[in-house]
A and B are shown apart, each in its own frame.
Chain A
Amino acid sequence: MININNLSFGYPNTPELFRNISLHISRGETWAILGPSGCGKTTLLYLLAGLKFPTSGEVTIHGEKILRPRPHSGLILQDYGLLPWSTVRENVALGVNVRKFYGADGKHTPDDFIPKDNVESWIQRLGLSEVVDKFPAQLSGGQRQRTAIARTLALEPDLLLMDEPFSSLDAITRENLQNLTLSLCEEQNITLIIVTHAIEEAAMLGKKILLLDTAPNSTARIFENPNAGSRNSAEFHALCETLWGEMQKRNAP
C-alpha cells in the first residue's frame, strides 16, 4: 500500500533527518513509529500525509506519488486540531463539509465521493451524544480525542495517521482509546500508523514498530510484534525491554 523509496529529507540549515530510507507498509497493518525527540517521527508522518515533501526519493500510496494531502488518508495531530469555535457536531462534520464544499473534484475530495449522512452515527459510536453541542474548550482530553477520531473516520479513510494522540490523556482514558482505535481500524480495515515516544504505547499498538535513531536515519529498523493489542503478556514486556535497550544504546553519550 505505502512505499517509501530512497527518501531523503531535512529542514533548511539543519542536519538531514532521513537519508535514502526505504520502507513498505501493507494494507491493514498497524505500525508504530518510535524514537527519541527530534529523530523525525512527526516529520515522517507529515511526509506520508502529503503535508511535507521529500528532498529526494518519493512516497507512493497505492502506486500514486504523494504530491498533496490524499483524500483517503486521515491525520490526527497531538492537539487534536479541533476548531475552537465549532461544536462537537460541527467538528465531526467538518471533513464531510469540506468535501461538500468542493464536491467530488478528485483533488480535495475523492472523485467517487457521495455525501453520506454518517456524522450522527459516528457521534454515537464514539460516545459523544451527550456533548454534541459543546465546544472543544468544554470537553475533557478524551472527549476531544474521540471527536477528532470521529471526524476522521466519518471520511472513511483507508489510512489513519496519528501523531502522539494519547500523550496528554490519563492512563485509563489512554488505554480505552488505544483499544478503541485498534478495534475500529481492524473493523474498517484501516492501515494505522501512529507516532509515539512511549515504548509501551508502541508495543501495545504496533504490529510492526519502526524504531528511528537520532538523525540521519538511513535504514528502517523494524521490530515485528504479532502480539500487539495486549499489555499483559510476557512477550509485551520482553519487547518493551528490547526497545528500551535499543533506544538506550543509540542515545548513549
Chain B
Amino acid sequence: MTATLERLPLLVRDWITGFFPEPVRWLVSGLLAIVAILAVFGLYFAYLTLAERKFLGRFQNRPGPNRTGPFGLLQPFADAVKALTKEDIVPQAADKLLHFLAPCLVVAFGLISFAVIPFGRYLIPVDLDAAVLYFFAAGVSSELALFMAGWASHNKYSMISAMRALAQLISYELPLLLAVVPVIMLSGTLSTSKIVVAQGGWTFGIIPHWNVLTPWGFAGFFIFMIAAVAETNRSPFDLPEAESELIAGHLTEYSGFKYALFFMAEYFGMSALCGLGVTLFLGGWQAPIDILQVVPSYVWFMVKLSCVIFCLMWVRATLLRLRIDQLTRLAWKFLVPLGLINLGNAAFWHLSADWSGPLQIVRWAISAAVIVIPFVLIGRTLSSGLAPRTYRYAT
C-alpha cells in the first residue's frame, strides 16, 4: 500500500507514456514532468496568494478575502481574470522588446529552478550531478531580467530601483551561497537527491538526522532563510518593490498581466528557494519520525515546504521594512562573517566526525560555541549606539 502510494506518480507517468511509441517516450516523460510542475506549482502559486492574504488578514485582525466562492476560495481565479483583462500599457519611449521580454524571462528563470528539487523519493524532474550549481545558475539569471525591466521602462525611477534591487540581490547571493557550502562539504555531493538521502535515518526512531539539527546546520538554515527572503524580495526586504514608498520600483511602468507575471515569478522563486532550503536543511522528503514513513515522501515535502512558506508569511506580517543601508549592512557586516565562521564550523564538524562517547558532547559544545559567540559579539557591536531610540521631530 505504502509502496504503491510512493510510486503513484511514476505509475501514472508510465501509464501515460504507454500510449506513445517507444522512440518518443523520453520526450513525453520529459514533457509530463514540465506539465506536472506547471500545473502543481501554478495551482500552488494561486492558493499561496490566497493563503497569504488570508493569513495577513488574520494577523491584522480582519477576515481577508471571503466573498468569491466559499471562504474566498475562488479569489485567485478572479484575480487572474482581472489581471488578464486589464489594459496593458507600454510607455511610448520604452524599449518594447526588452519591456516585453523581462517579465517572461523572470518567470522562466523562476520555473526552471524547480527542475532539480527532489519532491519525493522517486520524484525528481532532472537528477543532475551538479544540481545545486544549476539551481544557483538559474537563480542569478533572473537578476538580468530584473535589470532589463528597469532599463527597458525608460523611466529614471525604474532604473534607479532596478539598480537598488540588483545591489540587494548581489549582496544576499553571498550569504546564501555561504550557507549552502557547509551542506555540500559535509554530504560530499552537489546532487540534491544525494543530499536528501544523506539526511536519512533516525536516532531512537524519533530524532531525524536532518542538517538543521546540528549547530552548523541550524546557523546555516537561518542564514539561508534570511538571505532567501531577501533574494525573493519579500518583506522585510521588499524594498525593491516597496509599493507604499517607491511606487513599486522597477515595476512602475508595468501593468496588467506583465505586472502579475512579476508577482508570479516572486512566488515561484520563493517556492523554489524554500524547496531548496527544505532539501538542504530539513531533510527534503524524509519523514520526521520513523513510523510516519507510511505517509508518501512527496506529501512530507509539500508539508515542510508549506510550513516554511507559512513562516515567511508570518515574518512578513510581523517585521517592518528595512532601509537600503540597513539591508546591505545586515548582509555584509553580519551574515557574510557569520557564514564564513559557519564554514569553519562545518570543517570542524567534518574533521571531528569520529569522536564518540563524551567527546561527542565536547564536539557539540565547541561547534555551538563557535557559532553562538560570534553571533552575540557581532550583533552587540553592530547594534551598539542604536538604542534607546530618540525621536527628534516627534514628541
Q: Do A and B bind each other?
A: no
